[in-house]
A and B are shown apart, each in its own frame.
Chain A
Amino acid sequence: MQKSYQAKFYNGTSSKAFTVNVSFGEVDLIIFYVDENGVEQKINWLKNQIKEVQYSSTIISIRYGNSFPYQQIDVTDKEFVKEYKNHFKVSTYKRVAHTNKRTVLISILVGFIGVLVLSYFFLLPFLADVFAQTFPKEYEISLGEKLYASVLEGEEIDDEKTKNINLFFKQMKVEGDYPVKITVVNKKIANAFALPGGGIVVYDKILDDMDTYNELAALLAHEYSHVQLKHATRNIFRSVSGYLFVSFLFGDISGVTAVVLQNVEGLRSLKYGRTLEHEADENGLKILQENKIDASGMALLFKALKKENDINVSEFLSSHPDIDSRIDFVNTFEKANTYSAINNDSMQYYFERLK
């Protein structure tokens, strides 16, 4: 004899509850009850016509029928729930908002980890970018100045070349929002990098590798683009976004500067990734075009650096991948934008003094 469970039965036409006994058949639920006239009734609910099952911590409700309104039984016996699961293994089984303490705990844990991971990979970089974009320019410049001082600490600055390279840049007549300050450092590595707010550092080895002033113009246009497009600021903010996030939460902007200064070492070899490098190349080419400087300087610069790289590993190149595709890009740009470059004697003059 099958075990039967007591349940409340509603026929769908009235709220009157009938007390019934439910047992499990092979493919159905068998419901016995005594109707108003005292007559014993038996109903079979075919498994595949069960319409809806809702289960909360104390009750399981099952609805049956082809069309609205349905018949319904409510069972409070926990054993029934177990047997229902075993017996029917049906997909209609729907747990309705039933949670116990363990699920709460697990979901909190999973959720917490999930949120952390998501924040780290999506939210933090996003916030860092937003923050960098809205970071006041004056603040960016003053941050840049502090970084400048600490990057150049202990470096041998070539005052003469520094003076000339700044005069050279002035001749390029670049119009921008940032006060540009270029420093030439004596170092036997071909490298150059930009800091937030207008600071650019050039190692003199890279100058030695150049043959024409167009190459220097291209290099400075590229580095200036990093400044103008806030790449350095964005990158720094990304790399310290963890600290940034906390500082941001507590509204402590000065804390950001301290953290950035602690991380100053990484600046020398800031890797921008392909997208940002490409952006800087493109913007750099536009600067050259606007100022009627021969864009082929950029391709020449890349070729010179490539050659240099075959002998000594250049830091500039190691952080600037895909040199060949960049040369291609310059060539495509030149073809698409034909303009007559004007020879600039002053630039030539300062360039010669840099050699």
Chain B
Amino acid sequence: MEIINSEINPRKLEFKGEGSEFFGVLFLNWILTLVTFGLYYPWARARTFSFLYSNTEMEGSRFAFHGTGKQMFLGFIKAIVLFLLIYGVFIWGSATNSFLLRIVGIIILYAGLALLIPIAIHGGLKYRLAKTSWRNIHFGYRGDKGELVKIFIPGIILSAITFGIYSSWFSIDIRKYLIKNIRFGNIKFSYHGKGGELFWINFKGVVLSILTLGIYLFWYMKNTIVYLIDNIEIEQNEVSYPIKSNIKTLDFIGLQLINFIMVIFTFGLATPWVKIRTINFFFERVEFSAEINLNQIEQTESDYSDATGDDFIDMMDIGII
């Protein structure tokens, strides 16, 4: 039995969407956002997620995104108000003649943003995952806002005073915390990367990229992505299963170069096809164990509909994990 099990083909995700369909979605979004002077944007995001999720298939079933434009719009408004408040204090401070007030404004700006980023990541992940389902089972994020802030603030300060050297360890701490709190029903996840190893990847990446006038950047990017993916483990009923990627550097270079050429020569019109190519590239090369029982996932997570964090993440352009 053991032998047979290990010979079962590993599982992969599949993307079933067509570039032309995605183009239709994005183009309509773009037009409506333009015509409504940006107000449609949250609905546009919801539509984009819906398209991407509902075309992602695992074991013959599609994922679904249940967030709505309305929720995202409310979050969008809240996020804008908060942003304006923080920047408002800063601008007000710098407009006055008082040196003290100016310093206070700057402190509030930096402290505000430093606090906002982890809180936004928390809220964003919570919303996005709660609104993601597969076979009616929802994902979820169980992290605690305060704990994330406690990891984030010292991490960002240490990274700053070590001129970025600490950021490798910082980024591993964040990944570990975020991923261990992700749930897919009763399936858990964990991350096993090490700060020292990521630092070596970054160090090698920066030095060699400079020495090779940027050519090494492809290897650097690929190594970073592989290090992220290959250190995630899936846990079901106390048994852990690794996620494995099989990305060859030459393939990765090919993907990037062709994407680049497609975008440049079509003045960006090929972006939807490029995105789908990229999704397919990773879905084809990332696999996880077939021993995970996908028919016995229990619903464990609750609903969560506040999209403020998610909108923040979008505005600040933070890449989660």
Residues of A within 8 A of B (CB): 8, 10-17, 52, 54, 56-59, 61, 63, 68-72, 74, 96-97, 99-101, 103-104, 107-108, 110-111, 114-115, 118
Contact = CB atoms under 8 A, between A and B. Distances in A.
B16 A58 contact: yes
Interface of B: 16, 20-21, 23-25, 27-28, 30-31, 34-35, 47-48, 50-51, 54-55, 61-62, 64, 66, 134-138, 185, 294-299, 302-303
A268 to B, nearest CB: 38
Contact of A14 (B35, B134, B296): B296
Contacts of B25: 97, 99
Main secondary structure of the interface of A (DSSP, over half): mixed
A108 B26 CA distance: 11
A103 B135 CA distance: 29
Top 3 A-B residue pairs of the complex, sorted by shortest distance between their CB atoms: A97-B51, A10-B136, A99-B24
Contacts of B50: 54, 96-97
Given A10-B137, A63-B136, A111-B27, 19 more contacts: A8-B61, A13-B298, A14-B298, A14-B299, A15-B134, A15-B137, A16-B296, A17-B135, A57-B21, A59-B54, A71-B136, A97-B48, A99-B24, A100-B21, A101-B20, A108-B27, A111-B30, A115-B31, A118-B34
Contact of B295 (A15, A74, A104): A15
A61 to B, nearest CB: 6
A61 B50 CA distance: 12
Given A99-B21, A99-B24, A56 B31 contact: no
Nearest to A59: B62
B54 A97 contact: yes
A114 B31 contact: yes
Contact of A110 (B31, B51, B137, B302): B31
A164 B264 CA distance: 61
18 contacts: A12-B136, A14-B295, A15-B135, A56-B54, A58-B16, A63-B136, A68-B303, A74-B62, A96-B50, A97-B25, A97-B47, A97-B51, A104-B20, A104-B23, A104-B27, A107-B31, A111-B27, A111-B31
B294 to A, nearest CB: 6
A39 B24 CA distance: 46
Given A15-B134, A17-B135, A54-B50, A74 B303 contact: no
Contacts, number: 94
Contacts of B185: 15
A114 B302 contact: no
Between B16, B31, B138, B298, the greatest number of chain A beta carbons within 10 A of the residue's beta carbon is seen for B31
Contact of B297 (A15, A58, A61): A15
A96 B55 CA distance: 11
Contacts of B62: 56, 59, 74
B221 to A, nearest CB: 29
Contacts of A11: 136
B135 A10 contact: yes
Nearest to B301: A69
Contact of B34 (A12, A74, A107, A115): A115
A107 B24 contact: yes
Contacts of A56: 51, 54-55, 62
A72 B27 contact: no
B47 to A, nearest CB: 5
Contacts of B294: 15
Nearest to A9: B136
A172 B254 CA distance: 71
A77 to B, nearest CB: 15
A52 B64 CA distance: 11
Given A14-B298, A115-B34, A74 B66 contact: no
A187 B316 CA distance: 63
A101 B62 CA distance: 22
B273 to A, nearest CB: 13
Contacts of B66: 52
Contact of B35 (A58, A68, A99, A118): A118
Given A15-B134, A56-B62, A107 B28 contact: yes
B317 to A, nearest CB: 23
Between B34, B135, B302, the greatest number of chain A beta carbons within 10 A of the residue's beta carbon is seen for B135
Contacts of A115: 31, 34
Contacts of B64: 54, 61
Contact of A16 (B31, B51, B295): B295
Contact of A70 (B23, B134, B135, B136): B136
Contacts of B54: 54, 56, 59, 96-97
A103 B31 contact: no
A99 B27 CA distance: 11
A12 B299 contact: yes
Contacts of A69: 136, 138, 299
